Amino acid sequence: MSKVYTFNVRTQQATAMIDITRQVQEAVSESKVENGICVVFIPHTTAAITINENADPDVVRDFLMEINKVIPFSDGYHHIEGNSAAHIKSSLMGFSETVIIENGRLLLGTWQGIYLTEFDGPRTRKVHVKIIEG
């Protein structure tokens, strides 16, 4: 058995990391799947999905500070929309994450959370969660 759950996230800044762990866990709980896998996917080319620490907000701040240094907003890009940096960051980070489900819960580490990473906001982003029993 498998099902796709979808929810929207409204971002407020040009770059941000939004913890979506709660919404993903809600999809898992609603699915009633006790053991399996959960795939979190974002159908956008200027945002990404990642797993990182969700205990200390300075991790998010530091991450965004550094990724914006490595891939600056303006660097002589040719893409007419002016958001090449967002496309590059998203491709490097990736558009999905897979998490094991055990006993109806996401099997994340103590300090881990699932993040939607925004690189071209503010926007409304769609997140798909596929729950696969097994």
Q: How many CB atoms lie within 10 A of CB 15?
A: 20
Q: Residue 21 is inside which H or E element, if any? A: helix 21-31
Mean pLDDT taken over the chain: 96
**Domain range summary for the chain, segments of one domain joined by +:** 2-133
State pLDDT tens for residues 112-129.
999 999 999 999 999 999
In CATH, the number for domain 2-133 is 2.60.120.460
Mean pLDDT of all residues in 37-62: 97
Q: Residue 17 is inside which H or E element, if any? A: strand 16-19
Query: For residue 1, what pLDDT is reported?
Result: 64
Which sign, positive or negative, has the C-alpha torsion 62, 63, 69, 70? positive
State pLDDT tens for residues 65-82.
999 999 998 889 999 888
Cβ(63)–Cβ(51) under 8 Å?
no
Query: For residue 133, what pLDDT is reported?
Result: 95
